[in-house]
Amino acid sequence: MVKIERALISTYKKENVVDFANFLKNIGIEIVSTGGTAKKLEENGIKVTLIEEITDFPEILDGRVKTLHPKIHGGILARRNKREDMEILVRYNIKPIDLVYVNLYPFLDMAQNNDINLSELFEFIDIGGPTLIRAAAKNYKDVLVIVDEEDAKKVEEKLINGEEINEDYRLYLASKAFNLTAFYDTCISSFLQNVISKKTGKDYQTKYLTIPFEKTFDLRYGENPHQKAYFYKNSLNIGSMTTFDQLNGKELSFNNLRDADSAWKVVAEFDEPTCCGLKHSTPCGVASGKNTLEAFKKAYECDPVSIFGGIVAFNRSVNVETAKKLNEIFLEIVMAPDYDEEALRILQKKKNLRILKMKYTPLDKYEHVSIDGGLLTQEVDKDLINDFHVVTEEKITDEIKEELIFAWKVVKFVKSNAIVVSKNKATTGIGTGQPNRIWAAIEALERSKDKGAEVLASDAFFPFSDVVEKAAEYGIKAIIQPGGSIRDNDSIQACNKYGISMVFTGMRHFKHL
């Protein structure tokens, strides 16, 4: 076991450093420290060896250079079991450092301060701290590296109890150290990437993908009870799913969070009062109305079976009448930008109902999906229509155009192959995730049979005329689709035959994630 005789402590946050330093002093460990930390410790009666006493060189450049010196890093990096290393220490009168306790300048906190300019922010990029941490972690067999207050407490307990601080525990501390420095550099890289993108007006894509994700909490389990799961948030950017307030109900699960994200994205697509019922990441009923109550009733009627135990999202504040209606069925989550005071009390009568108050519309620019051994990254599908082009003899009214655009907005969020049938700005049938388009169309049209079918939206082009022919059987008046098939003319001719209007948008909306 390596004996700890000398510790270097250099911390920006000094709230809890005194207790740990005092403990080290009381068990006979010499403490080496830098300017602000040394002052804090000395004010609390803890004798400190100043860095400049060791290096025989003062802090320079307004404190930018303090610990970057061979007499410091030599003492950290020297391998105790290598004779040549120890001879170098003797030759240059360098004493080993056996413990390094460092926390870093708060770049992340300052980067979120809108009042700070770039030059000021750069002063919060720590140089010496990460270098000390990395040096100690590299020589983990001989040097304890501590970057977490909880680990300082554990090391203290081990020393009090006479426990061996073995190599495995030292490796664990080294792993946490490198994890911290990697995260710290990722914050800087991602922030600067955003700055460049804003300055140029173009998305700046680096060679290496660096996103500063920080674990917020452990989830009970993943999609299934045997899968472990965790929630990580982007520490640099705010988002709708990391800033909401939970006003009621049980803790959120993996599936809850993923489904809530999907439902919120659907209603955020609309300007008019809109409700989305969602189950297993798939919309089961979407509708717009004069108010939230009308929107909910229409969405519910689309699929009253699937919405049971699902999520209901609104893009408007929930009123009392809507809350009463929501309480008539079992739901996992209700989400909205706000709730009338009495409406919230009504919903809270169901103690397990998770009630989310959303603060932002979706903000992510990119989305990611893991594949075995890699990560796919793409821009979020934020556009809607490239060119609203009527390609049939039958033209469309303004009313039908609005209905087509409603259905087109919904189909963006339905898994491909996707077909959405709607009437009166309410989905009446949704066909999702089928391996071919005609199956999705049959599913959507059959579901719409008792509720009415006015328009049909398809997320991708028709390779054959079969969808048009099936739509005609159910009385569809108009179709919206991207166009672009080499057999587009077959579908156009079929529409002309049955008196159906058809619009090409020039934009596909596959959703496979």
Number of Cβ atoms within 10 Å of the Cβ of 471: 27
Catalytic residue among 138, 176, 233, 350: 138
- Residues 6+ positions from 73 with CB-CB distance below 8 Å: 67, 131, 132, 135
Q: Determine how many CB atoms are found less than 10 A away from the CB of residue 305.
A: 7
In this structure, the number of other CB atoms found within 10 A of the CB of residue 196 comes to 13
Residue 267 and residue 382: Cα distance in Å, rounded? 13
Residue type present at position 177: A
Determine whether 138 is an active site residue: yes
In 3D space, the residue among 261, 275, 256, 362 whose CA is nearest the CA of residue 319 turns out to be: 275
Which distant-in-sequence residues (6+ apart) come within 8 Å of 28 by Cβ?
5
Both tokens assigned to 237: 């950017």
Reported in sequence order, the residue ranges of 229-349 that DSSP labels E, i.e. its strands, are 229-234, 245-248, 274-279, 282-288, 311-314, 333-336
Residues 6+ apart with CB under 8 A from 349: 327
Asked if 317 contacts 340 with a C-beta cutoff of 8 angstroms, the reply is: yes
Q: What does the chain come to in residues?
A: 513
Q: Which residue has the tokens 């990029």?
A: 125
Nearest partner of 136 among 223, 234, 32, 211, judged by Cα = 32
Instruction: Pick the catalytic residue from 95, 153, 176, 280.
Output: 280
Judge whether 226 counts as a catalytic residue. no
Helices marked H in 365-421: 398-411
- Separation of CA 14 from chain center: 30
What are the Cα distances from residue 239, in Å, to 70, 246, 358, 362, 428?
44, 15, 10, 6, 31
Which has the closest alpha carbon to 460: 508, 390, 404, 407? Answer: 508
Q: Report d(CA 60, CA 80) in Å as an integer.
A: 31
| CA angle (268, 272, 277) in 5-degree steps | 55
Tokens, residue 164:
């061996």
- Give the residue numbers marked as catalytic: 138, 280
